[in-house]
């Protein structure tokens, strides 16, 4: 409190409350949270003078409940998620559309009705891709067509990213595609109210800007330019995206604080320098405040044109607070302003707290402010060495200026990279080892070429004079892409695998202490960071799972010393790529196909128990690999356990008799094997989500005679961790919905 740092920990408490709210297995009652908040606020007010410790503790507890309460209101206003995949005819209003390089269109549709069949619990908005060539339906018009809708998927493994939660927060209840070209079923509707009219107008403007940019700049430069202008990333090829991610340059694809600050800062400096050319104006008017107003207007326009994503909202709030501080004659870039921006974001969009954008953005900003403040303090106390003045010849002065610029960029990249590395490792399981080099080479292009040219192009686009600025912007982006490819070719992209949550919590707490405090107490943050690192190492950290099962049950992975084996020759890349990344980029081991069994299945003969015996015998000779007879009948021996993965209900009994773990990729009503084997079905996975299974010792009490195995052999013990077991929240409750009865079959 004596250092004036108590306020900085309020957003930390609010963010913790929001995070705890979302991690709860069921919805905390909002009334209890509200009453607790009022009581704690009263305690904080009454005890602030005579019981300072109690008052401060009550304040932080109230801040924690305020974050949880804000999360509760956000969840209360969430959308409905589709309960199961369905093919239906949809009719709705086009709210937005995106075009990919192949000319295909992806629509964001607000549903009005569904037929053949009618969805009893329809989502309000869906995102649908149209693969067939057709005349694009304009924004605001009514669209209709036969579509396949899929429910948002949960985490692909425990501790993974929850895509259903993100869809719930974004208000998109399903995604899918049109079977045939959709048709326009009605003209653009008349907007009800100026807010809706302005929203549709902004979306049409964003679409025209994106199309114009890609018309002038084809290929990846145009895709990146459209991402920087209107947050449309669909024009960027996958290899370029991978190179940017591997080199730590993927942050340029998001409209973040960097881009917002560059756009507003360029105009701020431009206005201030232009008005400074007239001494009369400088002496009579507050030129600095006029420049701040112009920069704030530019940032607001950028927010609206870009689509207003959560990352852009966060960047705008931070910049707006700093510009308002300039108008109030206060220091613009301070830790207190960062705290104010964090509080505003938590109150407006508390779900951002658990996402990588919020964590990495505020971590980088706070670390940079703390680092440069420490450098400034050392300079004031004469610890920075002798004063180096820009004297001598012009080339020498320019060389000194360039050296200082490179040093500043190096410090910025290093500090920001270290601050965001923890959260990057937790969310994306990778760290860009050569990120400093890539940023040193690419960021001067982004700062001095790409963003100034892009801002000029946006200002001149209404007059049709944007071609040359866009060309210059494209040349700068070509340099950025070349830099990413070059640094990527050097290697250095470190795959660290899945980071335990406890590691992130402890290291994050240590980072907060290290950055916020000013005395030697901040060294305690290093101790917490070290403790978090210990929690990520064996034997403290839990061992990697032996078996992974997707939430649909049709994909099973075996993590072995040679790689990650699967029961599919071409596994679902969406799921399998995340498994491989979480397991430190383990190579894929496809299933082994026995030729004699392939001949049997090719004749159309139904698989029988004899095929399972042959598959298990083949698997015993080559363990930790799936051995398959056609599609959907596979067996493996892994970590001492016999595993059978099938999609044929007729084989369930035989599989239970022969295996220790049976995975059935169809929804059957069987809950357990009478033989004692562990049974997993598509129906049980719908509720539990994806599974991570670790094979432990052997349970002698569960000895059961099995075909093809030693008589009365002991069964292995499976430790099963489910992603969503007994988690009943608005973004998981659709898993318990029974469309046949129109009711929820909740546990208990």
CATH code of the domain in which 153 resides:
2.40.50.140
Residues 439 and 520 in one domain: no
Segment 342-367, tens digit of pLDDT: 999 899 889 989 988 888 888 888 89
Q: Is the pLDDT of residue 699 over 60?
A: no
Residues 334 and 419 in one domain: yes
Q: How far is CA 58 from the centre of its chain?
A: 33
Region of poorest pLDDT, from 284-298, 615-629, 637-651, 709-723:
709-723
Q: Is the pLDDT of residue 748 over 80?
A: no
Tell me how far apart the alpha carbons of residues 713 and 290 are, in angstroms, rounded to a whole number.
82
Between 190 and 493, residue with greater pLDDT? 493
Tell me how far apart the alpha carbons of residues 256 and 314 are, in angstroms, rounded to a whole number.
8
SS3 string, 408-462, reads HHHHHHHHHHHHHHHHHHHHHCEEECCHHHHHHHHHHHHHHHHHHHHHHHHHHHH
What is the extent of the structural domain holding 525? 501-535
Confidence of residue 104 (pLDDT cuts 50, 70, 90): confident
Q: Residue range 550-578: average pLDDT?
A: 93
DSSP string of 336-381? HHHHHHHHHHHHH-GGGGGSHHHHHHHHHHHHHHHHHHHHHHHHHT
Domain final position from 46, 76, 106? 76
Cα distance between the two ends of the chain:
49
| Residue 354: inside a domain | yes
| Percent of residues, the chain, with pLDDT higher than 90 | 44
Q: Is the pLDDT of residue 271 over 70?
A: yes
| Residue 575: inside a domain | yes
Q: Is the pLDDT of residue 712 over 70?
A: no
Cβ contact 93:142 at 8 Å: yes
Q: Is the pLDDT of residue 189 over 70?
A: no
pLDDT of residue 22: 95
pLDDT of residue 436: 82
Domain final position from 155, 186, 217? 186
| Residue 745: inside a domain | no
Residues 432 and 297 in one domain: yes
| Residue 170: inside a domain | yes
Residues 725 and 675 in one domain: yes
Between 229 and 564, residue with greater pLDDT? 564
pLDDT of residue 644: 96
User: In total, how many domains does the chain have?
Assistant: 5
Q: Is the bond preceding 295 in cis, omega lying within 30 degrees of 0?
A: no
Residues in the chain: 748
Segment 366-395, tens digit of pLDDT: 898 888 888 887 777 764 444 445 556 677
Confidence of residue 101 (pLDDT cuts 50, 70, 90): low
Token duo for residue 664:
């059935």
Residues 232 and 174 in one domain: no
Measured at the CA of 119, the angle between CA 737 and CA 78, to 5 degrees, comes to 65
Which of 267, 609, 321 minimizes the C-alpha distance to 459? 267
pLDDT of residue 332: 67
Q: Residue range 581-588: average pLDDT?
A: 87
pLDDT of residue 384: 45
* Average pLDDT in the chain: 86
Residues 261 and 298 in one domain: yes
Domain final position from 171, 186, 201? 186
Which of 633, 494, 637 minimizes the C-alpha distance to 560? 637
Residues 231 and 118 in one domain: no
pLDDT of residue 713: 62
| Residue 639: inside a domain | yes
Alpha helices in 490-587 (DSSP H): 501-516, 523-535, 573-582
Residues 260 and 318 in one domain: yes
Q: Is the pLDDT of residue 711 over 50?
A: no
| Residue 519: inside a domain | yes
Tell me how far apart the alpha carbons of residues 489 and 477 are, in angstroms, rounded to a whole number.
18
Confidence of residue 143 (pLDDT cuts 50, 70, 90): very high
pLDDT of residue 700: 45
pLDDT of residue 710: 44
Residues 264 and 145 in one domain: no
Q: Is the pLDDT of residue 746 over 60?
A: yes
Residues 348 and 367 in one domain: yes
pLDDT of residue 333: 66
Give, in order, the Cα–Cα distances in Å from 297 to each of 196, 292, 340, 703, 710: 22, 9, 20, 74, 77
pLDDT of residue 214: 87
Is residue 398 classed exposed, middle or buried when 0-12, 13-18 and 19+ CB atoms within 10 A define those classes? exposed
Tell me how far apart the alpha carbons of residues 703 and 711 are, in angstroms, rounded to a whole number.
8
Region of poorest pLDDT, from 19-33, 394-408, 559-573:
394-408
CB neighbours of residue 463 within 10 Å: 7
Q: Residue range 667-678: average pLDDT?
A: 90
| Residue 609: inside a domain | yes
pLDDT of residue 324: 87
SS3 string, 227-289, reads HHHHCCCCCCCHHHHHHHHHCCCHHHHCCCHHHHHHHHHHHHHHHHHHHHCCHHHHHHCCHHH
Cβ contact 579:564 at 8 Å: yes
| Residue 542: inside a domain | no
Q: Which residue has 């501790």 as its token pair? A: 159
Segment 25-76, tens digit of pLDDT: 999 999 999 999 999 999 999 988 888 889 889 999 999 999 999 999 999 9
Residues 275 and 169 in one domain: no
pLDDT of residue 708: 47
Q: Residue range 473-477: average pLDDT?
A: 94
Residues 475 and 461 in one domain: yes
Confidence of residue 269 (pLDDT cuts 50, 70, 90): confident
pLDDT of residue 697: 66
Is residue 204 classed exposed, middle or buried when 0-12, 13-18 and 19+ CB atoms within 10 A define those classes? middle
């Amino acid at each position: 409190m004596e250092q004036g740092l108590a306020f900085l920990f309020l957003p930390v408490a609010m963010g913790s409350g929001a995070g705890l709210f979302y991690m709860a297995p069921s919805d905390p009652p909002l009334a209890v949270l509200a009453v607790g908040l009022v009581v704690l606020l009263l305690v904080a007010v009454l005890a602030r003078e005579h019981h300072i410790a109690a008052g401060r503790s009550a304040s932080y507890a109230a801040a924690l409940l305020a974050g949880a309460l804000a999360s509760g209101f956000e969840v209360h206003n969430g959308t409905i998620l589709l309960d199961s995949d369905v093919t239906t005819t949809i009719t709705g209003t086009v709210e937005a559309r995106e075009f990919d390089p192949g000319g295909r269109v992806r629509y964001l549709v607000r549903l009005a009705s569904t037929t053949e069949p009618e969805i009893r619990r329809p989502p309000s908005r869906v995102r649908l891709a149209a693969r067939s060539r057709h005349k694009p339906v304009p924004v605001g018009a009514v669209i209709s067509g036969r579509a396949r809708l899929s429910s948002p998927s949960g985490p692909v493994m425990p501790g993974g990213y929850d895509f259903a939660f993100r869809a719930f927060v974004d208000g998109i209840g399903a995604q899918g595609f049109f079977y045939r070209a959709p048709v326009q079923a009605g003209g653009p509707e008349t907007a009800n109210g100026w807010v809706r009219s302005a929203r549709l107008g902004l979306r049409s403007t964003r679409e025209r800007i994106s199309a114009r940019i890609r018309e002038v700049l084809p290929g990846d430069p145009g895709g990146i330019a459209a991402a920087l202008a209107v947050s449309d990333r669909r024009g960027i090829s996958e290899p370029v995206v991978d190179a940017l991610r591997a080199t730590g340059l993927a942050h340029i694809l998001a409209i973040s604080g960097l881009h917002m600050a560059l756009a507003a800062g360029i105009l701020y400096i431009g206005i201030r320098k232009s008005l400074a050319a007239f001494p009369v104006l400088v002496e009579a008017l507050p030129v600095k405040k006029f420049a701040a107003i112009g920069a704030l207007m530019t940032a607001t326009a950028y927010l609206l044109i870009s689509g207003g994503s959560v990352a852009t909202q966060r960047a705008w709030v931070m910049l707006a607070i700093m510009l308002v501080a300039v108008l109030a004659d206060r220091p613009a870039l301070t830790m207190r302003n960062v705290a104010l921006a964090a509080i505003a974001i938590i109150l407006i969009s508390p779900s951002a707290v658990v996402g990588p954008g919020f964590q990495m953005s505020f971590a980088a900003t706070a670390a940079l402010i703390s680092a440069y403040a420490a450098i400034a303090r050392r300079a004031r106390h004469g610890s920075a060495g002798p004063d180096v003045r820009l004297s001598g010849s012009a080339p020498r002065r320019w060389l000194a200026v360039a050296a200082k610029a490179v040093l500043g960029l190096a410090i910025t990249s290093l500090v920001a990279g270290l601050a965001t590395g923890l959260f990057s490792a937790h969310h994306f399981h990778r760290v860009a080892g050569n990120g400093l080099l890539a940023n040193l080479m690419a960021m001067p292009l982004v700062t001095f070429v790409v963003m100034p040219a892009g801002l000029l192009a946006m200002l001149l686009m209404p007059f049709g004079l944007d071609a040359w600025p866009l060309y210059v912007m494209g040349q700068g982006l070509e340099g950025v892409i070349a830099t990413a490819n070059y640094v990527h070719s050097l290697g250095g992209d470190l795959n660290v695998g899945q980071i335990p949550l406890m590691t992130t919590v402890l290291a994050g707490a240590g980072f907060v202490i290290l950055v916020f405090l000013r005395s030697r107490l901040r060294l305690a943050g290093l101790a917490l960071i070290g403790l978090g690192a210990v929690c990520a190492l064996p034997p403290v950290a839990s061992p990697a799972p032996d078996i992974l099962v997707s939430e649909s049950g049709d994909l099973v992975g075996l993590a072995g010393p040679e790689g990650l084996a699967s029961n599919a020759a071409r596994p679902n890349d969406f799921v399998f790529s995340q498994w491989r990344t979480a397991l430190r980029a383990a190579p894929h081991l496809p299933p082994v196909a026995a030729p004699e069994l392939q001949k049997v299945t090719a004749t159309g003969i139904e698989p029988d128990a004899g095929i399972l015996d042959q598959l298990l015998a083949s698997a015993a000779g080559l363990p930790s690999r799936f051995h398959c007879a056609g599609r959907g009948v596979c067996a493996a021996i892994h970590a001492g356990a016999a595993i059978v993965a099938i999609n044929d209900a007729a084989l369930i009994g035989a599989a239970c008799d022969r295996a220790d773990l049976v995975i059935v990729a169809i929804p059957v009503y069987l809950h357990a094997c009478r033989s004692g084997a562990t049974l997993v079905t598509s129906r049980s996975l719908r509720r539990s989500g994806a599974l991570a299974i670790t094979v432990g010792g052997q349970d002698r009490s569960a000895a059961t005679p099995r075909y093809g195995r030693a008589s009365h052999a002991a069964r292995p013990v499976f430790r099963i961790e489910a992603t969503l077991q007994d988690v009943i929240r608005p973004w998981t409750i659709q898993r318990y919905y029974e469309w046949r009865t129109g009711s929820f079959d909740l546990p208990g």
